[in-house]
Structure 1
Amino acid sequence: MSEHPDCALVRRGYTAFVAGDMDTLSELFTADAVYHVPGNHILSGHHKGREAIMGHFRRIGEETAGTMQIQIDAVLGDGRGHVMSFHTARADRGDRGIEIREGLFFTIVGGKVTDIDECVEDIDEMNAFWR
C-alpha cells in the first residue's frame, strides 16, 4: 500500500526540517501559508507567509543551537487535504532541556501546505522552555 501524496508531502517537510534544508522546506508551502504556534512565549503566535514561517524555523535552530531533534510517531491523512502528524521533539536551550510530544494539523491545497496548527502535550512546559 503506498502512502497518500499529502502524507508524503508532510514527511518530506519533516526530512527537510531535520536536515536544515530550508530551500526544500520553503517549496512545500504556499506564499500565504500560516503556521499557528500555541502558548505564550517567544515563538508563539501566527506566522503568516512563507518567509515568516521559514524565519520561525530558523529561529528554532538559533535558539536551540541546532540541538532540536524530531522523532516522527505517525502521519495520518484523510485524503481530502488534511494531515495530522505526531512527533516527539527534543532540544536544549541554555541550561534547560525539553522532550515533548507534539501534533501538527496540516491543510494542503494543490500539493502545498497552506496552514499548520500546532498542538503540544504540555503547554506549560512548552512556555517555560521558550521563555
Structure 2
Amino acid sequence: MSEHPDAALVRRGYEAFGKGDMQALGALMTADVIHHVPGSNPLSGHHKGREAVLDLYRRIGEETGGTVRIELHSVLVDGRGHAMAVHTFYGDRGDRGLEVQQGLFFTIVGGKITDIDECTQDIDEEDAFWR
C-alpha cells in the first residue's frame, strides 16, 4: 500500500524540522502559509507567511537550546487536502522540561501546506513552559 501524497508531504516536513533544515521545510509551504499556535504565551498566535512560520520554528529551537525532539506517531489524511499529525514534543528550557502530546491539522493545496492548526494535550503546561 503506497502512502498518500499529503501524508508523504507532512512526513517530509517532520523530517526537515527534525534536521533543522528550514530551506527544505519552507519549500513545502505556500508563501502565505499560517501556523496557529494555541495558548497564552509568547509563541501563541497566528504566524502569517512562510518567513514568520520559519521564524517561529527557529525561535523554538533557540528558546530550548536545540533540545527539541519530535516523535511522530501517525499521519492521517482525508484525501481532500487535509492531514492530521499526532506527535510527542520533548524539550528543555531553563530548569524546566516539557513532554506533551500535540497534533497538527494541515490544509494542503496544490501539494503545498497552506495552513497549520496546532492542538495540545495541555495548554496550561505549555503556557508555563514558554513563559
The 3-state SS of whatever aligns with 2:41 is: coil
Percent of residue pairs bearing the same amino acid type: 67
Counterpart in the other structure of 1:79 = 79
User: Which residue identity is paired with 1:130?
Assistant: W
Which residue is equivalent to 1:58? Answer: 58
Find the counterpart in structure 1 of residue 32 from structure 2.
32
Residue aligning to 2:18: 18
- Counterpart of 2:49 in structure 1: which amino acid? G
Match in the other structure for 1:3: 3
C-alpha distance after superposition, 1:76-107 (max 9, x if no partner):
00110000000000000000000000000000
Displacement of 1:116 after TM fit?
Answer: 0.3
Tell me the CA shift for residue 20 of structure 1.
Answer: 0.3
Aligned to 1:98: 98
What is the CA–CA distance in structure 2 between the aligned matches of 1:33 and 1:69, rounded to whole Å?
Answer: 23
Letter in 1 for 2:107: T
Cα deviation for residue 112 of structure 1 reads 0.2
Cα offset for 1:64? 0.3
Question: Post-superposition shift, 1:66?
Answer: 0.3
SS of 1:55's equivalent in the other structure is helix
Q: How many residues align?
A: 131
In structure 1, the partner of 2:109 is 109
**CA distance in structure 1 between the partners assigned to 2:42 and 2:16 by the alignment:** 23
- Please tell me whether residue 42 in structure 1 is matched to residue 38 in structure 2: no
Structure 1 residue runs of 5 or longer lacking an equivalent are: none
2:125 maps to 1:119: no
Residues in 2 aligned to 1:72 and 1:55: alpha-carbon distance in whole angstroms:
22
Q: Which amino acid aligns with 2:96?
A: R
Counterpart CA distance in 1 for 2:27 and 2:18 is 15
Q: Distance in 2 between matches of 1:63 and 1:72?
A: 21
